[in-house]
Amino acid sequence: MKPITLIIGSSGKTGSRILSKLKQEGYPVRLGSRNAEPPFDWEKPESWNDVLQGINQVYISFQPDLAVPSSLEAIKTLVQVCQKNQVKRLVLLSGRGEPEARACEQIVQNSGLEWTILRSSWFLQNFSEGMFLESILAGRVLFPKVETREPFVDLDDLCDLAFASLVTENHKNKLYELTGPELVSFRDVFETIAEVTNQTIPFEELPLDDYLSTLKEFGLPEDVLWLIDYLFRTVLDGRNESVVNDLELALGRKPKDFRTYAKETAKTGIWKIQERVG
């Protein structure tokens, strides 16, 4: 019998990829989404028991980020509900360079259930499916820390490993630190996207405090501003400027490099800046 997987964050960037892989290979799944039936909402732990009934394994992508103070209690409670429902295996998506995330990882590692931790660097797809797409499409990028380098991870690579962690025994009780094959600065990212799309994308470096003030003027809520501040100030303070080969060893092939991702993504047209009228 194939195990039944609950994918928490099934409509998100990683969850949707894992969902389609599991479905393609004929594995039964339950969607972990506020729009599913029964719904899964991180804000409503009293409803998690219904969602977990009959589930054998869970892919956990927390919202908004394991670095936020509420994550610890949420992961603790989720693990308890999983134990109660005799869930066998947990695969946790975590963030590299986030001390608060470590505490959540440890809860999963000490749960007595089988576990895999995917402690990931920043995703390449933040530029094509996530928080930085909008500023590229606005045709003018304002950004702090443009010279900071990050070993961006491709989500198809990450999700291949998440899938293997769910359907094989090979990654049981293992913690992987996931990086791409190289360090790339944010300046390189924006210049390369401009080059491969044959567009001009001017960008301007500004101090982090000015960047946050600008986002505040755009109406971003305080908790989102707190997280952006944390990510830039803590995670991008240089601590992640190193490459490790866990992903290559786990996948048995080289992870995707930034330029390949940029060229492939350019072909989809997602970065095409519309002509402004008037």
Ligand X SMILES: NC(=O)c1ccc[n+]([C@@H]2O[C@H](COP(=O)([O-])OP(=O)(O)OC[C@H]3O[C@@H](n4cnc5c(N)ncnc54)[C@H](OP(=O)(O)O)[C@@H]3O)[C@@H](O)[C@H]2O)c1
**What residues make contact with ligand X under the rule CB under 6 A?**
9, 11-15, 33-35, 40-43, 61-63, 65-66, 93, 95, 120, 122-123, 126, 130
Tell me the residue nearest to ligand X as measured from the CB. 12
CA atoms of 232 and 240, how far apart (whole Å): 12
Choice between 57 and 179, CB closer to ligand X: 179
> Minimum distance from CB of 123 to ligand X (Å)?
4
> Minimum distance from CB of 244 to ligand X (Å)?
14
Choice between 57 and 128, CB closer to ligand X: 128
What is the token pair recorded at 263?
């060229």
Choice between 41 and 248, CB closer to ligand X: 41
Eight-class DSSP state of 123: B
> Minimum distance from CB of 30 to ligand X (Å)?
13
Choice between 13 and 102, CB closer to ligand X: 13
The sign one gets for the Cα dihedral 108, 114, 32, 154 is: positive
> Minimum distance from CB of 277 to ligand X (Å)?
31
Q: Token pair 């900071």 is at which residue?
A: 148
Choice between 99 and 278, CB closer to ligand X: 99
- Each as own residue / partner, the long-range contacts of residues 218-227 (CB below 8 Å, 24 or more positions apart, any chain) are 223/64, 223/68, 224/64, 226/68, 227/64, 227/65, 227/67, 227/68
Choice between 16 and 199, CB closer to ligand X: 16
Beta-carbon count within 10 A of 34 CB: 12
Choice between 2 and 73, CB closer to ligand X: 73
- Each as own residue / partner, the long-range contacts of residues 12-19 (CB below 8 Å, 24 or more positions apart, any chain) are 12/61, 13/123, 13/125, 13/129, 13/130, 13/155, 14/59, 14/61, 14/93, 14/155, 14/158, 14/159, 14/162, 15/59, 15/61, 17/155, 17/156, 17/159, 18/59, 18/159, 18/162, 18/163, 18/166
> Minimum distance from CB of 156 to ligand X (Å)?
13
The vertex-125 CA angle with 119 and 128, nearest 5°, equals 165
> Minimum distance from CB of 122 to ligand X (Å)?
4
> Minimum distance from CB of 36 to ligand X (Å)?
7
What is the token pair recorded at 95?
């963030």
Q: Token pair 């054998």 is at which residue?
A: 56
